[in-house]
Amino acid sequence: MNRKVGIFGGSFNPIHVGHVNSMVTVAEKMGLTTIKVIPAAQAPLRQQMEGPSPEERSEMVKYAISDYPEVLEFDDIELKRKGISYTIDTVDSLLQTYSSETLYLIIGADQFEIFDKWLKYGELLSKVNLIVTTRPGAFLPLAKEDFPGSIPDLVAEFDGETAALNTGRFIHFIKLEDQNISASDIRKRLRTGKSTAEQLDSRVDKYIREHSLYNSVGTKIKDYEEFTRFCGQVLFDRKAIDVQGYDLVDMGKPVDYTIVASGTSKRHTAALSERIIDNVKDEFGVYPYNVEGQQDGRWVVIDYGNLMIHLFYDYVRSEYKLEELWRSSNNLNLVDEDLRERTS
Q: What pLDDT score does 202 carry?
A: 95
CA distance 334 to 136: 42
Q: What is the pTM of this model?
A: 0.74
Task: Answer yes or no: are the C-beta atoms of 300 and 294 closer than 8 Å.
Answer: yes
> Sorting pLDDT into bands at 50, 70 and 90, what band is 285?
confident
Other Cβ atoms within 10 Å of 212 Cβ, number:
9
Q: What pLDDT score does 339 carry?
A: 64
Q: What pLDDT score does 254 carry?
A: 77
pLDDT, averaged across the chain? 89
pLDDT per residue as tens digits for the range 113-155 = 889 989 999 999 999 999 999 876 667 888 999 999 899 999 9
Cα of 294 vs its chain's centroid, Å: 10
155 φ, ψ to 5°? -85, 120
Domains of the chain: 5-175 (3.40.50.620), 219-343 (3.30.460.10)
Question: Between 75 and 325, whose confidence is greater?
Answer: 75
Q: Which residues contact 339 (CB under 8 A, 6 or more apart)?
A: 236
Question: Between 215 and 229, whose confidence is greater?
Answer: 229
4 φ, ψ to 5°? -105, 115
CA distance 119 to 116: 8
* Reduced 3-state DSSP string for the chain: CCCCEEEEEECCCCCCHHHHHHHHHHHHHHCCCEEEEEECCCCCCCCCCCCCCHHHHHHHHHHHHCCCCCCEEECCHHHHHCCCCCHHHHHHHHCCCCCHHHEEEEEEHHHHCCHHHCCCHHHHHHHCEEEEEECCCCCCCCCHHHCCCCHHHHEEEECCCEEEECCCCEEEEEECCCCCCCHHHHHHHHHCCCCCCCCCCHHHHHHHHHCCCCCCHHHCCCCHHHHHHHHHHHHHHCCCEEEEEEECHHHCCCCCEEEEEEECCHHHHHHHHHHHHHHHHHHHCCCCCEEECCCCCCEEEEECCCEEEEEEEHHHHHHHCHHHHHCCCEECCCCCHHHHHHHC
pLDDT per residue as tens digits for the range 231-254 = 999 999 999 999 999 999 988 787
Task: Answer yes or no: are the C-beta atoms of 291 and 273 closer than 8 Å.
Answer: yes
Percent residues over pLDDT 70 in the chain = 92
pLDDT reading at 208 higher than 80: yes
User: Residue 266: which region, alpha, beta or left (left: phi > 0; alpha: psi -120 to 50)?
Assistant: alpha
CA distance 122 to 14: 30
> Sorting pLDDT into bands at 50, 70 and 90, what band is 290?
confident
Q: Which residues contact 189 (CB under 8 A, 6 or more apart)?
A: 195, 196, 199
What is the rounded average pLDDT of the residues 257-267?
Answer: 95
pLDDT reading at 264 higher than 60: yes
